[in-house]
Amino acid sequence: METENIKVEAIRADLWPQLAEVFGEPGDASGCWCQWFKLTGTQNRELPRDAKAARLRESIAGDPAPGVIAWINDEPVGWAAVEPFSAYPSLGRSPITKRLADDPLDPWAVTCFVVRHDFRRRGVAAALLRGAVDHATAQGAVVVEGYPVDTAVRPSLSSAERYHGTVSLFESAGFHEVRRPSATRAVMRFEPAA
């Protein structure tokens, strides 16, 4: 998938050095390594960064890939995590994302975006979201969900607080809001086959 000069592809084991470059910048991503929704709160606090990085490295060797990586020219610039809901144990425990009776049981979930500082405001997150949806549908997903923040309600959200993506980003990719568990958070859904 390519938009202008942004290329997005499913992550592979041989791309680990480039993914490590995306996560290696100072900030929240370098401490999380996309393990926030895969671990309990205690595990997240106690597991060292290098162990979290090792968990992500191990997961990218699996099938299906747990996310997509973005490039501008040959430079790795961003990441989006996307896997079935069941791959993220913490999602089921969260009041924002827990399943309701009429929800699809195991949609694919876009949980996290990381865009390197120097490449922000260039369309990378939008390209990552389109790439995440393409990856999920290629794996057979019939529903893709996101849990973004609403910057129209709270414009002061920091970039660290926007790692879920924004409501406007998901809307622009064709997602629709299915509920609003809090004033600033939405559950949004895309059904590729529809």
CA distance 176 to 77: 27
Q: Do residues 172 and 126 touch, judged by C-beta distance below 8 A?
A: yes
Q: What is the count of structural domains for the chain? A: 1
CA distance 99 to 189: 13
Please report the DSSP string for 119-136 in residue order.
GTTSSHHHHHHHHHHHHH
CATH for 6: 3.40.630.30
pLDDT in tens, 12-22: 999 999 999 99
For residue 123, what are the domain limits?
2-190
Whether 103 shows a pLDDT value over 70: the answer reads: yes
1 or 127: whose pLDDT is higher? 127
Bridge partners of 2, per DSSP, are 7
Give me the chain's average pLDDT, please. Answer: 91
pLDDT of residue 193: 66
pLDDT of residue 2: 44
Q: What is the value of pTM for the model shown? A: 0.92
CA 53 from centre of chain: 16
| 117-129 core/surface letters (b: 16 or more CB in 10 A; e: else) | eebeebbbbbbbb
130 or 157: whose pLDDT is higher? 130
Question: And the tokens for 13?
Answer: 């084991």
Across 78-99, average pLDDT? 94
Across 25-46, average pLDDT? 83
pLDDT of residue 52: 92
Using 50, 70 and 90 to split pLDDT, how confident is the model at 4?
low
Q: What angle do CA 29, 32, 33 make, to 5 degrees?
A: 80
pLDDT of residue 89: 92
Across 14-38, average pLDDT? 86
